[in-house]
């Protein structure tokens, strides 16, 4: 890091001044210097979930990527057919590093397959429904899945194919569950719209359709965990050790039956708030399952989350079990922290990624003594930054209005409040927050920079001004950062590494960051002669 870090206000000015005035005004509202909360507990307001300015190079993807890639991607036994031209389906094929473990050699696993209608000019001109129907039949013949999902791409929405009607017909014809997602890339302003569309669809078409309760006394769902690089496997290991039954994960290492039985859980634990908070809300409304925010990124965070879950169930056996597991797992974690901290302490990081990761990973850096000087989300909304208390104040604009909001009511048969109002109140009094999320700003230092939908231009200026010791973002940013001689960690996809969740994941992450900030090659970016331009005189033989 540069010896004198620039003042954040100056940074903000420097990075916005290159924009034409209209773009500059908008960007200024998306770049905030973090400040303490005001007397009512509100943080500085940030403009977010707003359109990306055309022409600025952005990190963002689209709604289809959020739906097919993020939410449906890790589900191994729902056969997803992309209805559209070849590209969208091709790019979402195996590129997110979602891992899965089917229970047996012959259990279904469609994740290595990319299915699509590969629409041709004729389908665009005359409509693609016929081809879609045929494709579904052909797919059914080959795979015999229990469910088929259809994901729409931009041109499909525009030519007006009724994919939902096709889904209904095919459901009838094949006798399996078939449903569709109108997740055309132009919907909303980022991937976030696609998460919403996908969750709504899964909620409507799958959740609550199977009623056998899984065995186990302490049953939870994990929401917003996608099993990148095996994260969910580590969380599953820990939960099992604690005696907690995982009914379903949305959607890491996921299966159709788990979704179908999700309403049989007694608590929803939410990891990535952005991608799935509405699923938690809807499950509570419809089935009576409360939700809490958890975080399994970082050893301390993991311990805290486990304690919260135990507190919720309030059974001594579980509370003791959790404490025992923490006590057993933590020494190994502390040993590595002690070893590594002298090499990482005082160093700085920047995180610009996703819709919760830019928050969660700060915890891991903190544990090894590193400070996050700037962070922001690729597709966050105000509540992800400022906390859910701003929800009533968020204005719904045209780009959000076209994402369906489901009207959810208590299910006449399946609604079962898990706790009485009094019990919930008592737990709240003990400090267990339900349905709460404080947002990223609450955890960041005062004076740090919070930037929404960062642009390439801003990234480069930030790098030049701060020269952080490590930068976290996605694949599109990776090599730009590294050309500057700064190590870059992909946090969407972990660079073929991981898992980073839970206790063992934390250890793996500490070691990885230790490696990254100390890798020798960065010291050799500048050639030796660049610093001594004068030719040296060779010693003469005497």
Partner 1 sequence: MLLRHTHKEIRDRSALTTNPAKTCQPVGALYAALGVHRCLPHSHGSQGCCAYHRSMLTRHTKEPVMAATSSFTEGASVFGGMANLTQAIENIFALYDPDVVAVHTTCLSEVIGDDIPQIVKSATDAGKIPEGKTVIHANTPSFVGSHITGFANMTKALVEYFAEPGTVPADRINVIPGFVEPADMAELKHLAAEMGVESLLFPDTSGVLDAPMTGRHEFYPEGGVRVEDLRTVGGSRATLALGAWASAPAAEALEKKAQVPFEVLDTPIGLLATDRFVDALRRVGKVEVTASVTRERGRLVDLLADMSQYFYGKKVALVGDPDPLIPLTEFCLTLDMKPVHVVTGTPGKRFEERVRGLLGEAGVEGNVAQASDMFHFHQLIKNEPVDLIIGNTYCKYIARDEGIPLVRHGFPVLDRVGHQFFPTVGYRGAMRLAEKILDAFLDRIDREPDEAAFELVL
List residues with catalytic annotation. Answer: 62, 65, 96, 195
Q: Is 84 in the site for partner 1 (CB under 8 A)?
A: yes
Among 189, 206, 318, 333, binds partner 1 (CB under 8 A): 189
Q: Is 260 in the site for ligand SF4 (CB under 6 A)?
A: no
Rounded to the nearest 10 degrees, the angle between the axes of helix 299-313 and helix 502-518 is 160
Nearer to ligand SF4, 87 or 342 (CB): 87
**Using only C-alpha atoms, what is the Rg of the chain?**
25
User: Among candidates 531, 532, 487, which has minimal Cα distance to 512?
Assistant: 487
Among 74, 85, 194, 290, binds ligand SF4 (CB under 6 A): 85
Nearer to ligand SF4, 89 or 468 (CB): 89
Nearer to partner 1, 38 or 105 (CB): 105
Q: Is 70 in the site for ligand SF4 (CB under 6 A)?
A: yes
Of residues 378 through 417, those in contact with partner 1 by CB under 8 A are 398-399, 402
Using CB distances below 5 to 8 A depending on partner kind, what does residue 478 bind out of ligand SF4, partner 1, none? partner 1
Neighbours of 328 (CB within 10 A): 11
CB neighbour class for 99 (10 Å; exposed up to 12, middle 13-18, buried from 19): buried
Q: Is 472 in the site for partner 1 (CB under 8 A)?
A: no
Give CA–CA dist 534/526, Å, rounded: 16
User: Among candidates 252, 253, 288, which has minimal Cα distance to 268?
Assistant: 288
Query: Which ranges of 288-315 would DSSP assign to H, the alpha helix?
Result: 299-313
* Residue 283 near residue 406 (C-beta atoms within 8 A): no
Residue 478: C-alpha distances to residues 365, 457, 473 (Å) = 19, 14, 7
The helix/strand count (H/E) of the chain reads as: 22, 14
Our CA dihedral for 257, 259, 263, 267, rounded to 10 degrees, sits at 120
Point out which span in 179-187, 326-334, 365-373, 432-440 binds partner 1 (CB under 8 A).
179-187
Beta-strand relationship, 147-152 and 218-225: unpaired
Nearer to partner 1, 124 or 408 (CB): 124
Of residues 461 through 500, those in contact with ligand SF4 by CB under 6 A are 492
Q: Is 275 in the site for ligand SF4 (CB under 6 A)?
A: yes
Q: Is 226 in the site for ligand SF4 (CB under 6 A)?
A: yes
Q: Is 356 in the site for ligand SF4 (CB under 6 A)?
A: yes
Q: Is 158 in the site for ligand SF4 (CB under 6 A)?
A: no
Q: Is 155 in the site for partner 1 (CB under 8 A)?
A: yes
Give CA–CA dist 501/507, Å, rounded: 9
The 503-542 site mask, x for binding partner 1 (CB under 8 A), equals: ----------------------xx----------------
Nearest approach, Cβ of residue 191 and partner 1 (Å): 8
Binding site for ligand SF4 (CB under 6 A): 70, 84-88, 153-154, 226, 272, 274-275, 353-357, 492
């Amino acid at each position: 890091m540069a010896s004198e870090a620039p003042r954040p206000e100056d940074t903000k000015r420097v990075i916005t001044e290159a924009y034409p005035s209209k773009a500059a005004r908008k960007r200024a509202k998306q770049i905030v210097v973090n400040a303490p909360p005001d007397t009512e507990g509100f943080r500085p307001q940030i403009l977010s979930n707003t359109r990306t300015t055309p022409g600025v190079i952005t990190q963002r993807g689209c709604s289809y990527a959020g739906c097919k890639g993020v939410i449906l991607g890790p589900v191994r036994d729902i056969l997803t057919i992309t209805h559209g031209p070849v590209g969208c389906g091709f790019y979402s094929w195996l590129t997110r590093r979602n891992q899965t473990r089917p229970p047996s050699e012959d259990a279904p696993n469609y994740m290595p397959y990319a299915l699509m209608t590969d629409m041709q000019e004729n389908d665009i001109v005359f409509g693609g429904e016929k081809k879609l129907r045929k494709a579904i039949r052909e797919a059914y013949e080959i795979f015999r899945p229990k469910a088929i999902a259809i994901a729409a791409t931009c041109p499909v929405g525009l030519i007006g194919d009724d994919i939902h009607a096709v889904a209904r017909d095919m459901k009838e014809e094949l006798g399996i569950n078939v449903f569709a997602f109108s997740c055309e890339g132009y919907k909303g302003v980022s991937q976030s719209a696609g998460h919403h569309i996908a969750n709504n669809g899964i909620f409507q078409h799958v959740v609550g359709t199977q009623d056998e309760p899984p065995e186990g006394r302490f049953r939870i769902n994990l929401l917003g965990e996608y099993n990148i690089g095996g994260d969910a496997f580590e969380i599953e290991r820990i939960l099992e050790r604690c005696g907690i039954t995982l009914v379903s994960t949305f959607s890491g290492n996921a299966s159709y039956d788990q979704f179908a039985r999700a309403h049989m859980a007694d608590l929803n634990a939410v990891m990535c708030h952005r991608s799935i908070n509405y699923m938690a809300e809807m499950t509570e409304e419809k089935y009576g399952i409360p939700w809490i925010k958890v975080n399994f990124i970082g050893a301390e965070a993991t311990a805290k989350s486990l304690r919260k879950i135990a507190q919720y169930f309030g059974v001594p056996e579980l509370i003791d079990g959790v404490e025992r597991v923490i006590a057993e797992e933590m020494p190994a974690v502390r040993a590595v922290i002690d070893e590594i901290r002298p090499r990482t302490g005082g160093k700085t990081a920047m995180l610009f990624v996703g819709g919760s990761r830019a928050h969660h990973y700060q915890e891991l850096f903190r544990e090894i003594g590193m400070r996050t000087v700037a962070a922001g989300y690729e597709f966050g909304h105000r509540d992800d930054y400022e906390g859910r208390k701003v929800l009533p104040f968020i204005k719904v604009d045209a780009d959000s209005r076209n994402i369906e909001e489901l009207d959810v009511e208590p299910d006449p048969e399946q609604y079962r409040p898990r706790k009485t109002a009094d019990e919930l109140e008592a737990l709240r009094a003990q400090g267990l927050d339900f349905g709460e999320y404080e947002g990223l700003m609450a955890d960041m230092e005062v004076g740090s920079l919070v930037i929404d939908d960062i642009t390439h231009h801003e990234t480069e200026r930030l790098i030049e001004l701060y020269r952080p010791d490590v930068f976290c973002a996605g694949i599109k940013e990776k090599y730009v950062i590294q050309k500057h001689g700064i190590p870059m960690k992909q946090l969407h996809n972990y660079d073929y590494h991981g898992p980073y969740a839970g206790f063992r994941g934390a250890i793996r992450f500490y070691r990885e960051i230790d490696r990254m900030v100390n890798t020798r090659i960065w010291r050799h970016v500048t050639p030796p002669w660049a610093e001594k331009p004068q030719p040296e005189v060779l010693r003469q033989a005497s």
